[in-house]
Amino acid sequence: MTAPDPTSTPSAERRPRGRPRKLPEARDDGNRRQELIRAAARLFRQHGFAATSTRDIAAACGMRSGSPFYHFDSKEVLLAAVMEEGMRFAIARQTEVLAGAGAPGQPLVARFRAMVRSHLDVLLGPDSDFIPVMLYEWRSLTPAQREAVVDLKNRYEAPWGDLLADLHAAGHLRGDPALARLLMFGALNWSAQWFDPARRATLDDVADAALQLFLKDVR
């Protein structure tokens, strides 16, 4: 009988070839990541960033308490991901509007209403937790994270500047378009504090009221 080779490994102990098997938390990585972002957005909006733990977010997704760290290095990184996801959704939604009712060929007032209505949908419609989190928790970001979100925010607001300048030139808008843009976003964003879908006003009602408030000679 020959002596066993000390460098050999019994077949029962040999490691399988190929990549190691993923843990449950690592499977379907993209979907799990999106699930965490959505849950975090909802909890951050309901309870605040400071009062929400990664354990809370994991529990909302049916994960183990440490599982979010497979996808995000920290709760702060997850917060930044929530805000970036919200801005990307807002840009995509606005791009659709600009290709339809908000297209340059449409009347200026109709284009403006389409933009306002789209913004309200992002703020108050289905899956609308993302942007309010950005409004409430902005100071919780690091300077580098703020820079990334600001880049997305500037992309979103750029078409508004052009449209307001056109409205001003056509006599529909009083005052400086740049200042008007800041005041309009302030008023529209504040609706996240008071709008209640259970009340009689709809998002279309709010959009129509915004036109009466912001533009002159609108009926």
Please give the pLDDT value at position 22. Answer: 41
Domain that holds residue 66: 24-72
In a domain? residue 19? no
Number of structural domains the chain divides into:
2
Instruction: State pTM to two decimals.
Output: 0.79
The answer on 130 and 40 residing in a single domain is no
The answer on 30 and 85 residing in a single domain is no
Average pLDDT for runs of 10 along the chain of length 219: 44 41 48 92 94 94 89 93 94 92 80 94 88 91 93 94 94 93 94 86 93 84
User: By the 8 A CB rule, do 96 and 8 touch?
Assistant: no
User: By the 8 A CB rule, do 81 and 89 touch?
Assistant: no
- Where is the domain boundary, 45, 72, 99? 72
In a domain? residue 198? yes
Please give the pLDDT value at position 18. Answer: 41
Domain containing 97 — which CATH number? 1.10.357.10
The answer on 89 and 39 residing in a single domain is no
In a domain? residue 3? no
